Structure 1
Amino acid sequence: MFFLRGLVVASVALNLVACSSSSDAPEESGPSFKGTVHPILAQSCSLTACHGSKESNLGIYIPSSPADVHATLMTESPTARGAKFVVPGNPDASYLMMKIDGTQGQLEAKCSGTCGAQMPLDLPVLSDSERAAIRAWILAGAKND
């Protein structure tokens, strides 16, 4: 009888451990492109006078479609030879992050003439939380989610 009670207690304990380790809550995976990063870029970069015009875009065209913006960010910069706008998993090697952080000068040898100014130009720089969200998205693999 004591042995049977021990088995029941052990079984209940195992079930409690199994139930407590599984969760219906989604895992935190960082900021999404469509929900977090694209709105930041659309608000701060896709202005007609900046990167929102196909004809005049200062080297990178950021259209309104999230899928098109993501595709653009996966290409190389036309002004910084060999530098990709976004290097998934590596925000420090991503030209986009360098432009946002104002560290683009480290690529001066790759830039035609100059690597330009910190972005966004003539606007307040992005907030720390906006920059952190873009950095976290790149670090998490820069998925088109």
Structure 2
Amino acid sequence: MVDHWDDGKKVTWNSFYGREQTSTIGTLTPGIGSKRSLNSYLRGGVVDVKLNEDAKIKGGYFVGTGSSRAEALPKRTEGLRTDLNFGSHVSFTPEVDYDSRHVAQKEAMVFRSDKLRLRGELRNIGKKFESLIGAPGAQGELGYLLEGNATLA
């Protein structure tokens, strides 16, 4: 992994390259089987730009190669996320990802005060959307999520 940042801490980026140690069906526990080095490699990079104290943009590009990779997995994926603060109480975080065939989107709005935190998130993650290593935990989610925490003291 290679990390870099500018002296003003406005832009950071990192890149990575490595061999995948598990398959899409997972790694067997010790005693049953051992990890094998697959002919499957992942590489990519992420750029994080701090526009100001209240606005950040992060983008990434990732590639999977090798003869051990499942044919159904995407060869490349891209993602873009923005973090926006509207004062000290409200933030908005839209995110979009693309797996070479399908798009996944999430938009979250958070309200914070001393005694209350509310978070609403719209999700549109297709049933066929996949990351470089397989189906994400939120695959197939479509709808709205609402979370709340309150302090009663």
TM-score of the superposed pair, with normalisation by structure 2: 0.23
- Report which of the two structures shows the higher radius of gyration computed on alpha carbons: 1
- Which structure is higher in strand share? 2
TM-score of the superposed pair, with normalisation by structure 1: 0.24
